[in-house]
Each structure stands twice: as C-alpha cells, then as structure tokens.
Amino acid sequence: MENVYTIPVSDTQTSAYVSSALYQALQQEASKLDKQFARALQNSERYPLDEQFRIDVLIIDKERVQLKEKQETVAHELTLLEQAFGRIAYTQPYLQRAAAYFKAGDYPSARLVLEMEVERAEKEQVAYTPQARKEQAEQWLMLARLTLVDFSLGDRLQRAQTYFTQSLLTFRFLENTLSCARLLHTQHQYSQALPLYDEALKLAWSLAKTDEATYMPETAQILAYIGHLHKALHQYTEAESYFQEALEIYQELTATEMYTAQMAHLLDLLGYVQKMTHQYPAAEASYLQALALYTQLEETTPKAYLPEMASLLNHRGLLQKHHKQSKEAEQSFQRALQIRLHLAKESPYTWLSDVAQTWNHLGNTQKALRQYKEASTAYQKALEVYRQLAEEDKSAYLHHIAQTLCHLGSLQSDYHQHVEAERSYLQALSIYHQLQQEHPQKYISQVASILNNLGIIRKDTGRHQEAEQSYQQSLALYQQLALENPKTYLPDVGLLFNNLGSLQLDYEKPSEAEQSYEQSLSVYKQLAAENSQIYHPYVAMVCVNMCIMYRNHIPSREKSLFYVKECIQAAQPFLGKLPAIQNYYKTVLTVIQSWNIDPELFLREI
C-alpha cells in the first residue's frame, strides 16, 4: 500500500471533539471490532483448516480498516472546524447557534443551521463586500467539512463536493481551493483536481513571500500532491519535476521528524518515476537516500515507518531485478517480505495483498537465479495468500491467482515439468474464462499467452494436434488484438505464425508450414521497417527456418539460398552482439555447404 499525503493541520492540535458522542461511538465500535478480530484470529490459528474462520478474520479486519478511515476523517475535519469556529466573527445569531451545537458535539445540528442560512443567503443573492464574501465562503467550507463527518448521509461526498464548489464560487482562498482539489483527487477526478492544485500552488507561493514558516511547508505539500496526480496518470516526467521541487523545499526547512519522513517518502516516489523514465542510476541514488533517512528515523521511532520501508525495499528490488542484480534484488524482496509479514499479523486485510505481491517478486527473482525450489515455494506462498483473500473477495483477487499460476507454470516449463506446467496453465486459463463471463473484452492477451504456452508444452510432449489447436486459438486472439493495437500485438502474431510453422514441419505438413512462415516473415518485415534494431533479428530467425525448410522438407535450391541471403543481410549488423545471431549464422553456413557451395565464395558474392 502506498502512503498518501494528507493536508497538514496545526501542530497545536485541539482535542475537544474527542469527548463528542460521534468520536466516542467510533471509539467504542473500534474497541468492539478489536475484540472480535482477536477472537477470530485465535479461532483461525486454533482451527487452520476451517476456512470460515479465515474469512471472518478478513471481514472483521476490513471493517476495522474502514472504521479507522472514518476516525481519521473525523479527527482531521473536526480539528480544522475547531480552528475555523475559533477564528470567525460571530456577527449573526445563526453562527452562534451553529458554534454552540458544534461545541456540544452535535455536528448534524450545526450542519443543518449552517446549511439553512447559507443556502437562504445564496437564494436571496445578498450583495456582499469582499470581506463578507470571504466570510460566506468560509461558512460554505465549514458546511462541507460538517457534511464529510456526517456518515448518515448517503450522498455525503457528493454534498460535500457541492459545498466546496460553492465556497470557491463565493470567494477563493488557499484552504477552500486546496480542500476541493484534495476531495476531487481522492475521487479520481484528476482533470478537475489539477487546475485547482495549480491555483492553490500559486496562492501558497504568494503567501510564503510574507510568511515562509507557515506556507513553505504547505507549498511543498501541494507540489507533492500534484506529483502524485501526475504519477497516477503515468505522466512520470511531470511527476518527477514536482517531487523534486517539493524535496528541495523540505531540504531547506529546519529538520524535524515529520519533514524527514516527507523527504524519505518523496525520494522513494522520485526513484519510482525515475525508474519509469529509464533514469536508472538516478533512481538508485534516490532509493539509497530514502533508505538512509528511514534508517535514521528507525533509530528514534522504531517501527513507525515500517510500511514505508517495505514499499521502498520493494521498489528498489524491482530496480535491481531490472538491472540483472538478482542476488541484491532477492535480498531487498526478502527484507520487504519480512516487514510485510509482520504488518499482516496486525492487519491482514491491509497487508496480505502486499505480502502476496512480494512473494511473487521474490519468486520471479529466484527463477532468474535458477533457484527452482525456492522460486516454486515463493509462488506457492503467493497463491496461498491470494486464495485466502479471494475467499472474502473473489472479484478483486481471482486475476492475481491466475497471474501467479502463470508464473508457476513458466517455472515448471523451464524445468521440463510438463505435466505440472500444463496443470498450472489450465487452472489459470479456467480462471480467466470465468472472469471473461463478466468482462468479455478483458484478459484476452492473458488467454492468448496461456494458449501459446500450452501449445509449446504440447509440442514438446509430442501432442502435435493439440499443440496446433492451441497455437491456432492463440493466433486468432492476437490477430484480434492487433487490429486495435498493432504496435503491441503484431510481434506476437509474427511469433505465433513462426511457432505454428515449426510445429507443422514436425507434423509433416510442409505446405501449411510454408504458409505460416511466409505470414510470420511478412509481419516481421513490416515491423522491421519501423524498428530495424528490434525486429531484424526476428526476420533472420524466420529466414533460417525457411532456408532449412526448403533444404529438407520442400527441396528447392533457389528458395533455400534466397532465404540464406535474406538471413545474412538481416543478421549482419548484429554479428558479435547477439548470441542467437551467431547460431543463425552457423546454421546458414551449414545449409550453404549442404548445397555443395563454398561458403566463402557465396558470402563474397552477397
């Protein structure tokens, strides 16, 4: 789970709301759920084979997490409301009534008083001086906050958004502009949130000119929000710029634990977007700086930043794996896993999905290290966790189970465990077909990939007819996908035609193989016309297969030597760079010799 920033409140936080009926009710409910969770956890440990106890643990913990979010909303909004009621001028009796209700903890009544009066004033279109308009905007803002803490309202968020908007229409200032942007952001309405963030940023910069101590931290916070938004939109270059600017501000501020934690989190985010924009040394440097800061924080506040440390280690592990630093990546994932397993004991609903994700990353890394037993164990652990989560919420986790089964099938296939690999792939295929019943256009590429892998297994185990059927089904799906997205899926179409051709030759169907190879070559030549560095080696691969076909299966000296030339011309720029090209080159030399031609003379004539 990724931490997100929240709007900071005053360091001197009042606590009158703690004695309110709302807060006390939430506290009592939390205590009740904690006891239920402890009992459910005890039962699940005592009777590990009873899946209902495991489901109970997740359901109760989900309720705990949702309740905690409510408590955080209440604490945050009521703190800001206490500050607002403390600074407004009580020029109207209704403000005094609203304040009295608020002080007594009767927040719905305070909301109703404000709602009635500000809506009445709006309907009567009362003319205000600029100062009065600002006061009216403050009241709309207070109404929005009171609405956010009234969980009895079915349209709580929509109403609050309406009141935030009305506050902005009345008079714009930093607090209402930023609050409205935050609510839109959390509701994933990014295009509406961004201009408000930009406006809030300008206001914060302007205020910081006369009060740096108050507004420079808030400016950094807004920059971080905007960076988060761009990251969510996969606009990584823009995100990097905002994260970097926020970080520079925090570095200039007097060091506190909060600012150090903000810097560490920003460096983790910065490393992520730098990785996504292929700035790998910069990403590693950012991760190392973040690691140093979290290590520093751990000395003074042990365990306070474990979630953030786990996220950082996971991100760094992915970077190390990308750089083929598999041993280092394994260590990072193992450290992240250890932390997440600890966190999952306290809140399985919150952390078990991250545990399963880390098991998967660890399995992929151990597979790269050729540690079959360890990788297999990691994938099985990931499956165990995802299946446990799916017992409570199938729609959220079934595709994760299918994805992990594919990882396991790939591992088993690499180690020639064909029966086990086929079983894993078939289980994954069954899940994707189940998911497609509700979403027919989703998971097509995953199904196509599994069918291709099943074709390879069935070919390797001599079941040519089944293999051809799998390849044909996979090919049809990839061709369908390539119509809408040729850049992504045409390479798969080319590879399927090549695989199909090889199978058809093995199956003594040379005419069909000839057609398949021609289709494959046509696709790869089309792709190579746009990107020769990537696709000319594939052109060479198909040409090798075709020159052998015309030597051994459909004897034709002319065609065989034609594709020898085609292969050499496509492969020439990559000699000495790609091991596969070296093998192709040796193969075509053998084919040349088989036609009783001197390879040196032949090559000289090309």
Distance CA 474, CA 425 (A): 14
Confidence of residue 126 (pLDDT cuts 50, 70, 90): low
User: Does 521 score more than 50 pLDDT?
Assistant: yes
- The whole-number average pLDDT for the span 332-339 is 98
Nearest by Cα to 264 from 280, 282, 250, 281 = 250
CB atoms within 10 A of CB 412: 22
Q: What confidence score (pLDDT) does residue 14 get?
A: 46
Q: Phi and psi at residue 501, in whole multiples of 5°?
A: -60, -45
Helix axes 557-571, 532-552, angle to 10 degrees: 160
Q: What confidence score (pLDDT) does residue 561 get?
A: 96
Q: What confidence score (pLDDT) does residue 131 get?
A: 85
For the four alpha carbons of 495, 499, 502 and 507, in that order, the dihedral sign comes to negative
User: Following CA atoms 192, 226, 305, 311 in sequence, which dihedral angle do they give, to the nearest 10 degrees?
Assistant: 90
Instruction: Looking at 47-103, list the stretches that DSSP marks H as alpha helix, in order from N- to C-terminal side.
Output: 51-87, 93-103
Tokens linked to 71: 């408590």
User: Does 125 score more than 70 pLDDT?
Assistant: no
User: Does 12 score more than 80 pLDDT?
Assistant: no
Q: What confidence score (pLDDT) does residue 129 get?
A: 82
Q: What confidence score (pLDDT) does residue 15 get?
A: 62
User: Does 34 score more than 70 pLDDT?
Assistant: yes
Tokens linked to 422: 């086929």
User: Does 72 score more than 50 pLDDT?
Assistant: yes
User: Does 5 score more than 70 pLDDT?
Assistant: no
The residue type found at 384 is E
- Counting residues of the chain whose pLDDT is more than 90, the rounded percentage is 88
**pLDDT, tens digit, for every residue of 543-571?**
999 999 999 999 999 999 999 999 999 99
User: Does 2 score more than 60 pLDDT?
Assistant: no
Enclosing H/E stretch for 347: none
For 122: left if phi > 0, alpha if psi spans -120 to 50, otherwise beta; the answer is: alpha
Check: CB of residue 358 under 8 Å from CB of residue 314. Answer: yes
For the four alpha carbons of 158, 159, 165 and 169, in that order, the dihedral sign comes to positive
Check: CB of residue 67 under 8 Å from CB of residue 15. Answer: no
Confidence of residue 90 (pLDDT cuts 50, 70, 90): confident
**pLDDT, tens digit, for every residue of 242-256?**
999 999 999 999 889
Q: What confidence score (pLDDT) does residue 552 get?
A: 95
Q: What confidence score (pLDDT) does residue 1 get?
A: 42
Confidence of residue 82 (pLDDT cuts 50, 70, 90): very high
Distance of CA 450 to the CA centre of its chain: 23
Distance of CA 396 to the CA centre of its chain: 14
Check: CB of residue 264 under 8 Å from CB of residue 293. Answer: yes
Q: What confidence score (pLDDT) does residue 39 get?
A: 95
Distance CA 243, CA 413 (A): 43
Distance CA 293, CA 272 (A): 17
Question: Which of 3-7, 76-80, 254-258, 463-467 comes out lowest in average pLDDT?
Answer: 3-7
Distance of CA 134 to the CA centre of its chain: 41
Confidence of residue 127 (pLDDT cuts 50, 70, 90): low
Distance of CA 56 to the CA centre of its chain: 28
Q: What confidence score (pLDDT) does residue 302 get?
A: 87
Confidence of residue 7 (pLDDT cuts 50, 70, 90): very low
- Counting residues of the chain whose pLDDT is more than 70, the rounded percentage is 97
Check: CB of residue 449 under 8 Å from CB of residue 457. Answer: no
Distance CA 121, CA 101 (A): 21
Question: Which of 43-52, 450-459, 522-531 comes out lowest in average pLDDT?
Answer: 43-52
Which has the higher per-residue pLDDT, 273 or 89? 273
User: Does 124 score more than 80 pLDDT?
Assistant: no
Q: Average pLDDT, whole number, for the chain? A: 94
The model's pTM is 0.88
400-to-58, 364, 449 alpha-carbon distances in Å: 17, 15, 16
Distance CA 321, CA 326 (A): 5
Helix, strand, coil percent values for the chain (each to nearest 5): 85, 0, 15
Distance CA 345, CA 352 (A): 9
